[in-house]
Amino acid sequence: MAKQFLCSLDAPIVETVSGKVRGFQVDGTYTFHGIPYAKAKRFQMPEPFPSWKDRGVYDAHSYGFVCPMLDRETAWGEICVPHRYWPKDENCQYLNVWTQSLDETAKRPVMVWFHGGGFSAGSSIEQIAYDGENLSKFGDVVVVTVNHRLNILGYLDLSPYGEKYWNSGNVGNADLVASLQWVHDNIARFGGDPENVTIFGQSGGGGKVTSLMQTPAADGLFHKAIIMSGIADGRGLMNSKNTDSRPLIQAMLNELGLTEAQVEQLETLPYETLAKAYKKVVPAIREAGGYTGCGPIPNSYYLGDPWDIGFTEHAQTIPLIAGTVVAEFGGMAPSLKNRTTMSEKEQLDFLRQYLGEHAEPLAKLFAQCYPDRPVTDLVLSDTFSRVATKNYVKMKAAQSQVPTYNYVFSYQFPIDDGRPAWHCSDIPFAFHNTDKVAICNKPGVSDQLEANMSGAFVSFATTGVPTAANLPQWEPCTADDAVTMVLDAKCRMCHHFDDDFYEAFLPVAPDLRKIHGEDEILILH
């Protein structure tokens, strides 16, 4: 059935602080692609985008440029995480808006999405599931997705080489703050409430959420936060323990045939030249445990990771949901053949290959958590984020008077005789976009799980409490219990859910490359 598309010479038009923008409307959803929210010179802080009020109406009909990437993009595993690829340019400060109303008095909740890819790659449209139309329509919320500077353009610390570079190691995050300032100044004209803004993101996007909670310039620009698979040990996505950038910068200068006196030439070299030099020298710097860029660095702008300094006073006032998926990177390769038909003995024999004498006790602990799963799945269990996330939410609960909620997404996808949820696989459910990602769909199951997850996130963005019609009451975490909502075909609320399993599993967890093979492990953004 055809959708109704509307876009005339004079509608839909919204007047922003910088000037008028014209979007389009599809079946009632107002859509604006590629609105510029800031500009910046290389390595410099962002500034408001110049006004175009005297130059007519800006057509917000095309997605804006995305940030250049260090590595060539590769299509791989698209059935699991379908992607889009887009033109790139350093001037990449653009955002997209989906909304159900342009009434300034509507005051709908606002959900601002920060994309994954660490702090190095990705974009606001990289994944098909990032599209905001369905979530806006389902939840009657305003959805905003954001592009910003990444990798060495957004996070290369040149501060030892001049005051003008004082925050070059954080300008990518400063772009995000600028986008939130744009939301604060303009979103009411798109039907949103600037005093009810939830930031959310997955993987690197979750890391951006955690770092903005520690950034005073963002205080007051958002009011709730959702972190999806974005918490490691505090060092995996950031440089909080490696703050001396001089060895890296000196190595890059040497590679480029420049001296320290010529450091300003880094501002004008072609990006490809700069990236090539960085990629040439960074392996040795990484091997030596040095600063490698490509993530925020603590200073007066970004105060530091909560693992190091605790939560800021402002972060303590932000209600939070933080969760993971059951297999994260372990679920990215094909599942074990015959996993659902193996006998109990065959399953234990398989586990003994990787766990030896620990196979049987771990199988019992895993079965207590997931009684409907083959115990062979336990070797794929997430060792990247689950325990770190539980520690994070307990620390947040201990330091905060507002609620913190935790989840594990444990859906089995209908591929390869059932594959446990992998990194990024929960995003279509959060965005109410399972219709766009075929692999998500399972009649009688996926629609309800999507309604539960999207519904809980929308409810949280609206009221600060995650609820959904068919979801058990979601209890907040405490200082000693990462109370867990298990999001699955049947959702359940659990106390100390997998504590015993992970206490036994982490010390003996096998290297995934031994299970899948070297070529099968490819981290998706």
What does the block give as tokens for 93? 């400060």
Among residues 423, 432, 516, 525, the one annotated as catalytic is 423
* Spatial distance between the Cα atoms of 205 and 228, rounded to a whole number of angstroms: 8
Among residues 124, 328, 381, 454, the one annotated as catalytic is 328
What is the total residue count of the chain? 525
CB environment 488-513: b (16+ within 10 A), e (fewer): beebeebeebbbebbebbeeebbebe
Q: What is the DSSP pairing of strand 419-420 with strand 412-413?
A: antiparallel
Among residues 203, 240, 381, 385, the one annotated as catalytic is 203
* Spatial distance between the Cα atoms of 457 and 126, rounded to a whole number of angstroms: 21
Active site residue 328: yes
* Spatial distance between the Cα atoms of 439 and 419, rounded to a whole number of angstroms: 10
Which residues face 211 on adjacent strands? none
Active site residue 518: no
Q: Where are the beta strands (DSSP E) in 125-283?
A: 142-146, 192-202, 224-228
CB environment 449-476: b (16+ within 10 A), e (fewer): bbbbbbbbbbbbbbebebbbeebeebbb
Q: List C-alpha distances in Å: 98 to 4, 44, 172, 191, 199.
A: 16, 30, 24, 10, 15
The radius of gyration of the chain from alpha carbons, rounded to an integer in Å, stands at 23
213 neighbors 315 (Cβ within 8 angstroms)? yes
Three-state secondary structure of 284-350: HHHHCCCCCCCCCCCCCCCCCCHHHHCCCCCHHHCCEEEEEECCHHHHHCCCCCCCCCCCHHHHHHH
* Spatial distance between the Cα atoms of 324 and 408, rounded to a whole number of angstroms: 5
Which residues face 324 on adjacent strands? 408
Three-state secondary structure of 460-477: HHHHCCCCCCCCCCCCCC
Q: How many Cβ atoms are within 10 Å of 156's Cβ, its own excluded?
A: 26
Active site residue 267: no
Task: List active site positions.
Answer: 203, 328, 423
